[in-house]
Amino acid sequence: MEFIDNDRCFLCGSHNPHGIPLHFSKEGEDTVIRGTVPWYFQGFQGVVHGGIVASLLDEVMSHSVKKEGEHAVTGSLEVRYTRPCCTDLEVEVRGRVTRRSGRALETESTITQGGEVIARGKAVFVRTKRHSTSPVSQGRESFSEE
């Protein structure tokens, strides 16, 4: 499968008016996001839905991979929730590449809010054989580590 970046990602796409407009920066080895998650991404009142928390961790790790010049997709994602993430309060999300092995890139991430780590993520990204920014997609690709 060809992976097409048409800038409509619900977390970072500038052409998606319904998402969370994230802005990324690089601080040393870390890719960093600072911002707030609006109330309409809540699960319980005032608490960011756990799937959105996982998505933020995945997204910052994905951008850590991209900032190293790699084209890869999430192969596995592990999330550890330690405290609720509150809506409409600033969060800091940090991610980094920690290891490379063949087509695999291992990554780690954290979300902090109010000075406390509220979630941690680990993921393995798998380098793709193809990448495109064009609107044409053909074929299939395996995600397995060969």
Q: Rounded to 10 degrees, what is the CA torsion of 111, 73, 76, 116?
A: 0
Q: Are 125 and 73 within 8 A, CB to CB?
A: yes
All domains of the chain in start order, with CATH: 24-127 (3.10.129.10)
Which tokens is 98 given? 């920690």
- pTM attached to this predicted model: 0.85
- Per-residue pLDDT 10s for the chain (146 aa) are 777 778 777 787 778 888 787 889 999 999 999 999 999 999 999 999 999 999 999 999 999 999 999 999 999 999 999 999 999 999 999 999 999 999 999 999 999 999 999 999 999 999 987 544 434 333 333 333 33
Distance from the Cα of residue 82 to its chain's centroid: 18
Q: Are 75 and 60 within 8 A, CB to CB?
A: no
